[in-house]
């Protein structure tokens, strides 16, 4: 587990520029909200999941979440078919805050084109990107 300031960032995951993570296992991809994003959002009170069986396209909005502070969007990190949603997180969205990379996953999909993984970030590239996002957010707060 890499730590970037106060944020966890598992090395084995791919990261999307809209703060989603993707865990790839063959052609299956488990998707969730990054630690940075869930901490920034605050306690998640509601989540609108993508539809099981639905087709999603990379970089497109597939769901939403709400906190006391704002409405956030859930993006598809790659294209494919949604094969399951996390009903536990749908019933208790705070699971995303408590365990964003474990019990708080959002949906699972069957990827249609593994070449799209090249559009995501991993390893040092992802770490550098997150450092930039942290700095950008710190400036916006001032």
Query: Domains of the chain: which residue ranges?
Result: 2-141
pLDDT at 114: 97
* Mean pLDDT, residues 107-118: 98
Digit-coded pLDDT (tens) for 61-95: 999 999 988 899 999 999 999 999 999 999 999 99
CA distances (Å), origin 57, targets 38, 80, 85, 88: 23, 7, 16, 24
| d(C-alpha 10, C-alpha 3), whole Å | 8
H or E element: which one contains 124? helix 123-141
pTM of the model: 0.95
CATH 2.40.50.100 for domain 2-141, yes or no, is: yes
For residue 142, is pLDDT > 90? Answer: no
For residue 35, the number of C-alpha atoms closer than 13 Å in the C-beta half-sphere is 18
Share of the chain above pLDDT 90, in %: 93
Q: Token pair for residue 61?
A: 């909005």
Digit-coded pLDDT (tens) for 12-50: 999 999 999 999 999 999 999 999 999 999 999 999 999
């Amino acid at each position: 587990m890499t730590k970037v300031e106060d944020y966890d960032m598992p090395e084995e995951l791919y990261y999307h520029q809209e703060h989603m993570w993707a865990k790839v296992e063959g052609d299956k991809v488990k998707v969730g909200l990054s630690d940075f994003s869930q901490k920034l959002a605050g306690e998640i009170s509601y989540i609108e999941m993508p539809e099981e069986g639905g087709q999603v396209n990379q970089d497109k909005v597939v769901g939403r979440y709400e906190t006391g502070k704002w409405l956030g969007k859930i993006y598809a990190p790659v294209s494919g078919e949604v094969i399951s949603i996390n009903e536990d997180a749908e019933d208790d969205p705070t699971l995303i805050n408590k365990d964003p990379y474990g019990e708080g996953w959002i949906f699972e999909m069957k990827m249609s084109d593994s070449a799209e993984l090249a559009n995501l970030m991993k390893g040092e590239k992802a770490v550098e990107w997150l450092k930039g996002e942290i700095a950008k957010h710190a400036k916006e707060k001032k």
